[in-house]
Amino acid sequence: MTVGVVHFLFVGAFLFAAGAFVAARRPSLGAALAGVPLLLGGAGLDLVAADRFTASFRDPVGGQGFAIAVAVMALAFVGLGSVLARLETPR
């Protein structure tokens, strides 16, 4: 059995849906931002899978470069979420 683009798209959609669920169901902003990296991870996985299986000869690493930019944005959201969670906790 070979793994095709549909498998990657389903895993990416699952990650995206899990991140959306976490972001929607958390009461505080700091906890809600914990779902954003899952959202962006699912989107990045779909971008890399689409780039891998389309075999674009003009720009062979276009989707991977964009996925790296999405990963950096997810890292920024994790940092923002940790700062907000620290500010919301009573001392």
CB contact set of 82 (below 8 Å; sequence gap of 6+):
30
Determine the pLDDT at residue 41: 85
**Using one digit for the tens of pLDDT, what is the confidence trace for 41-74?**
888 888 888 877 776 666 667 667 777 888 888 8
- Enclosing domain of residue 43: 5-88
**Confidence grade of residue 14 (pLDDT, cut at 50, 70, 90):** very high
Determine the pLDDT at residue 91: 62
Domain total in the chain: 1
Helix locations, the chain, DSSP H: 5-25, 29-32, 36-54, 62-88
